[in-house]
């Protein structure tokens, strides 16, 4: 299944140009949030073995990835594609009240603002300039998911590929550190990733086909 899914996922190594570092950074948990922080946000007990890691990953997808993160990426992508600066900044402020974001809000802002600064050479793009100004004035936060969606649109990356890449990379980002602590084999990690992400393509299709309220 791993080999069958891989070509359709838009793995970072297959992406072109300056988007590759962005996908690797924003599409993983490295430097974003610890396993413990996210476990607390989804009310999951500590990860101590393979079954508890599996439960954590399913809870994360059910309570954060699918209902919050992927829709946020899609909405930021849509606003950017339509050059809706005001709407993007307004949505950014709205995200500050999202309960699922609060446990790792500081990390999300840190990563998002770092990646947004890398877009500074694109200041000729009005939406980049205005979003940067809003962040620098304290009117916006630059959540990592919004910067991810913004960048996908700026570089004309396919939304479907971007959402799948984020979902798989983030899930993989949780498995990797846990695998070292739990002494999981490469085969166990691969099987776990395939199992947890088996429904992700269908969820992404549903999200793309739905109407997101702006």
pTM for the structure as a whole: 0.84
Spell out the domains of the chain, with CATH numbers in brackets: 18-205 (1.10.4190.10)
Q: What's the pLDDT score for residue 3?
A: 37
Extract the residue ranges of the chain whose pLDDT is less than 70.
Answer: 1-45, 123-124, 211-214
Helix (H) or strand (E) holding 98: none
Secondary structure letter of residue 141 according to DSSP: -
Note whether 60 and 42 are within 8 A (CB). Answer: yes
Q: What's the pLDDT score for residue 7?
A: 32
Secondary structure letter of residue 32 according to DSSP: T
Q: How far is CA 127 from CA 118, 150, 154, 204, 212, in A?
A: 14, 9, 10, 26, 20
State how far the Cα of 172 lies from the Cα of 156, in Å rounded to an integer: 25
Q: What's the pLDDT score for residue 196?
A: 94
State how far the Cα of 117 lies from the Cα of 11, in Å rounded to an integer: 24
Q: What's the pLDDT score for residue 24?
A: 57
Q: What's the pLDDT score for residue 121?
A: 85
Measure the N-to-C terminal CA separation of the chain; round to a whole number of Å: 36
């Amino acid at each position: 299944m791993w080999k069958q899914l891989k070509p359709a996922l838009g793995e970072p190594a297959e992406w072109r140009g300056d988007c590759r570092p962005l996908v690797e950074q924003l599409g993983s948990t490295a430097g974003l949030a610890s396993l413990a922080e996210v476990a607390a946000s989804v009310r999951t007990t500590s990860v101590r073995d393979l079954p508890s890691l599996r439960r954590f990953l399913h809870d994360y997808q059910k309570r954060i990835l699918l209902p919050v993160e992927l829709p946020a990426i899609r909405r930021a992508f849509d606003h950017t594609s339509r050059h809706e600066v005001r709407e993007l900044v307004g949505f950014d402020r709205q995200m500050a009240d999202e309960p699922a974001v609060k446990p790792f809000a500081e990390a999300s802002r840190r990563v998002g603002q770092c990646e947004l600064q890398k877009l500074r050479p694109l200041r000729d793009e009005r939406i980049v300039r205005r979003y940067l100004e809003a962040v620098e004035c304290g009117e916006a936060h630059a959540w990592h998911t919004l910067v991810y969606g913004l960048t996908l649109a700026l570089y004309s990356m396919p939304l479907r590929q971007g959402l799948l890449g984020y979902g798989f990379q983030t899930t993989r980002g949780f498995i990797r550190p846990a695998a070292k602590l739990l002494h999981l084999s490469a085969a166990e990690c691969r099987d776990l990733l395939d199992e947890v992400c088996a429904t992700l393509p269908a969820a992404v299709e549903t999200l793309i086909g739905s109407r997101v309220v702006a």
